[in-house]
Structure 1
Amino acid sequence: MGRLMSEVAIVGVGWSGFRSITPDLSFREMMFEAAAMAYADAGIHPRRDLDGLVTAEEDFHEGIAISDEYVPDQMGAVLKSVHTIAGDGLQALAAGVMQIAAGAARILAVESHSKASNIQNLPQITALAMDPIFQRPLDAHPLFIAGLEMRRYLEATRTSLEHVARVVVKNRRNAMRNPRAAFPADLTVEDVLRSEPLAEPLTRLMAAEPADGCVVIVLARGDIARSLTDRAIWIRGIGWATDSYTLEGRDWEGARYLRRAAEIAYQQAGIRSPRRAFDLVEIDDTFAYKELQHLEALGLCRPGEAGWWTAEGATEIGGELPVNPSGGCLGEGHLLDASGLARLLEAVLQLRGEAGPRQIPHAGTALVASWRGLPTATGAVAVLSREP
């Protein structure tokens, strides 16, 4: 895939929730709040200006079939086209970018949300995504996949458990500067290592807790973006990829899905040296080892270096390359399929200089990467810039 066919920019963002539980809000009310904020931020009216919606939803998480039917009303876009992505929010962003780049739309809204607190049996729901013939009959908790992959990653890269724990310490501490974060904490490496085991060597504090939240992003064609705002954030490259759907056939140590997605996004953006190309990175850290694995898959450091890089402070807010200044999924909470849009939201706020006490000075470029989560091997990457 070559360069984008036309300029596409983010002109508005909105959010709601970002709490461990939201008994005061239905998922429809969260969507309405996030959409109203995004439209006001972009300076548009949905009925007059929107050409359509793209939503990332999973029927199993929603507890209803054809869940996209519940999108138009609260998004203020009845009778508009709706494109549903059964995947992560960053994949929905890619679908919106392609529609605008191809000339099929001028202004689109991209939405995804989580009402994880409504799901009483989330592990069992997740297990339904496993192979129905060879894996699901084992009735195993899906976290065993994370434990196996973490063990393989640690052995292949000679990364220590202490390095993984430092990711948790960093991200939960970053979350203390983020008013959206549901799980800020001042932890020590010992706290993380001594927390109860989930799937050895994974401990409880190394895994992000689920949270409720909604994120809405407004996209616009380049000329329209310039007419709407002087704070547009430009999408210079975007890619996504899937490794083998089977556990037996996938890459267990190198996150091949994200490496391929990054190659596509870098090619579009004209990036040859990713380590020197970005001012900050927001990437998936559903499990703490994933942040290290993803840093290496993105080409930001060599295999086996991410742990040492983290231990030396290079990924801190004041370090060489700040990683997850928002607190990531570990700090903000895991928003199911909205997790990728949560990472994107922070990158946009950083590039607009609106990140408050966690602001990265003079941030001009950002890298955003998502993973759809267990048991998948699917990821997406977006390259963002303050300048077109």
Structure 2
Amino acid sequence: MEREVAIVGVGWEGFQPTTPHYSYKELIYQAAQKAYHNANVDPRKDIQSFVTVAEDFIEGTSIFDEYTPDQLGAVLKPMHTITGDGLHGLITAYLMIRSGICKIAAVEAHSKASNIKTLSQITHYALDPMLNRPFEFHPDFIAGLEMARFLHEAHITPEDCALVVQKNRRNALENPSAPYGFDYRLEEIQDCQPVAYPLLESHIAQPADGAIVVVLASREIAESLTVEPIWILGVGWCNDMYNLEYRDWGHLPYVTKAAQMAYHQAQIQTPSKKIDFAEVDDLYAYRELMSLVALGLISKHELPDALKMGKFHSTGQLPINLSGGSLGMGNLLEANGLAKLVEAVLQLRGQAGKRQLSFPHIGLVQSWRGIPTSSAAVVILASS
């Protein structure tokens, strides 16, 4: 079994609220060209397997991976679909390389959210058809319930969640790929319309279009392709209860189990001391805080003081979502996890521009599939 796998190339395109000048195929093609150039590979000659991350119901097309080989340079090559988050696709490619199935693999995830007229109705269709869907509530109602329970248990307020929005939208101002950057005052965030109290409209990441391609390789190949491979130290994933009635609404046990799996593989016993920065789920502002607790990066009782002291700011002790997160980059659907992964790769390479940290060594990336799922993935990366 291959012991080590590295990320050798990344490419992305779009990251805009709408992309009328590109079809989804053109977005993928542009991202793929950049990733292959970054990795110094020819997809027709070098890459042995491909993974596309897509949900047929969102795409409006059955067996969607039939529509991605052309733009990825994957004609007559192995290609399959992962119906999960982009990090699930990355982990799939990682496992293929570790098992010896291939030595180089490419992963693609994308969003053409602007093509979807009623995204909430698609999300609603994911609810249990017998017990939940007949109530006809908006899916964000689930997030409102979860947020209310978490705020109660963690003894924090909606104003604390507004600090997350303010931080991430400000971080996005330093990210050329983030269309939702803005310097909000806390009062402006708090004055937004409620969606499912205490959840406000300003707490929710807005849709965006984009595509991301990542190239992975085994150690022997990676070191011949680039002088700056980013090593995958550990991966983890977990699914919890699909039905709402049996969930632990104040905690994210599936995030905790995915993180423990990744920490064990990476031989990290105290993540709060070893992790230099993290890109975590923030599809809803409160989820960033829930995820940090579930990842073991902070305890609930420490949260209020940590927020007020700016611990998670770019200049803080543990920078979180330097990219702007989903609140700043937009909700890229299945591509959310890979968007965060790109930021981690850039930070570890020292290529993050104005938002670059000083000599980071280990970064953590965590993603969530979104309402109404309980599906999470965690990847831990390290520089050379």
Q: For residues 122 and 311 of structure 1, what CA distance do their matches in structure 2 show?
A: 35
2:127 matches 1:144: no
Name the SS for the 1:73 alignment partner.
helix
Cα deviation for residue 133 of structure 1 reads: 0.5
Is residue 55 of structure 2 the alignment partner of residue 50 of structure 1?
A: no
Mapped to 2, the partners of 1:34 and 1:5 lie a distance apart of: 28
**CA deviation string 1:354-383 (max 9, x = no partner):** 000000111111000000000001100000
Structure 2 residues not aligned, in runs of 5+: none
1:30 aligns with 2:8: no
Check conservation: 1:214, 1:338, Cα contact below 8 A: yes
Provide the C-alpha distance between the structure 1 equivalents of 2:311 and 2:93, rounded to a whole number of angstroms.
Answer: 34
Deviation at 1:304, TM superposition (A): 3.5
Corresponding residue for residue 110 of structure 1: 107
Are residue 250 (structure 1) and residue 247 (structure 2) matched? yes
Q: What is the aligned partner in structure 2 of residue 131 from structure 1?
A: 128
Deviation at 1:84, TM superposition (A): 1.0
Q: 1:234 aligns with which of 231, 235, 239?
A: 231
Matches of 1:5 and 1:100, distance apart in 2:
7
Q: CA deviation at 1:250?
A: 1.5
**Amino acid paired to 1:42:** A
- What is the Cα deviation at residue 97 of structure 1? 0.5
Task: Indicate if the aligned counterparts of 1:15 and 1:38 stay in contact, CA closer than 8 A.
Answer: yes
What is the aligned length?
384
In 2: Cα distance, 1:240 partner to 1:306 partner:
25
Deviation at 1:5, TM superposition (A): 5.0
Which of residues 51, 58, 61 in structure 1 aligns to 2:58? 61
Aligned to 1:91: 88
Q: What is the Cα deviation at residue 253 of structure 1?
A: 1.2
User: Paired residue for 2:271, among 264, 274, 278?
Assistant: 274
The superposition leaves residues 250-295 of structure 1 with CA deviations (integer Å, 9 ceiling, x where unpaired) of 1211111100000000000000000011111001100000000000
Identity fraction in percent: 50
Distance 2:117 2:108 in 1: 24
Q: Is the 8 A contact 1:175 1:325 kept in 2?
A: yes
Per the alignment, in what secondary structure is the counterpart of residue 219 of structure 1?
A: strand
Mapped pair 1:159 → 2:153: no
Kept after mapping to 2: 8 A contact 1:159/1:304: no
Give the AA of the match of 1:105.
C
Aligned to 1:77: 74
Q: Give the aligned partner of residue 288 of structure 2.
A: 291
Partner Cα distance (2:2, 2:314) in 1: 34
C-alpha deviation, 1:192, in angstroms: 1.1
| AA in 2 matched with 1:34 | A
Whether the 8 Å CA contact 1:11–1:41 is kept in 2: the answer is yes
Bigger mean CA offset, 297-306 vs 191-200: 297-306
User: Which of 144, 169, 172 pairs up with 1:172?
Assistant: 169
Secondary structure, aligned partner of 1:41: helix
Alignment of 1:336-355 (within 5 A): 336-355=333-352
Q: SS where residue 72 of structure 2 aligns?
A: coil
Q: Does the CA-based 8 Å contact 1:164-1:307 persist in structure 2?
A: no
Structure 1: which 5+ runs fail to align?
Answer: none
The Cα shift of 1:160 comes to: 1.3
Opposite residue 333 of structure 1, the aligned amino acid is G
Match 2:185 to one of 185, 188, 191: 188
| Letter of the structure 1 residue corresponding to residue 124 of structure 2 | A
Whether the 8 Å contact between 2:2 and 2:97 is mirrored in structure 1 is no
Cα distance in 2 for residues equivalent to 1:40 and 1:305: 44
Give the drift of 1:87. Answer: 0.3
1:305 is paired with a residue of what secondary structure? helix
Give distance in 2, aligned partners of 1:81 and 1:378.
26
- The answer to whether residue 302 in structure 2 is matched with residue 305 in structure 1 is yes
Output the TM-score relative to the length of structure 2.
0.99
Residue-by-residue CA offset, 1:314-356 (whole Å, 9 max, x unaligned): 1111110100000000000010010000010100000000000
Find the aligned partners of 2:312 and 2:110 in 1 and give their Cα distance.
28
Q: Calculate the TM-score normalised by the size of structure 1.
A: 0.98
SS in 1 for 2:223: helix
Alignment of 1:317-356 (within 5 A): 317-356=314-353
CA distance in 2, matches of 1:107, 1:40: 14
Task: Indicate the residue corresponding to 1:21 in structure 2.
Answer: 18
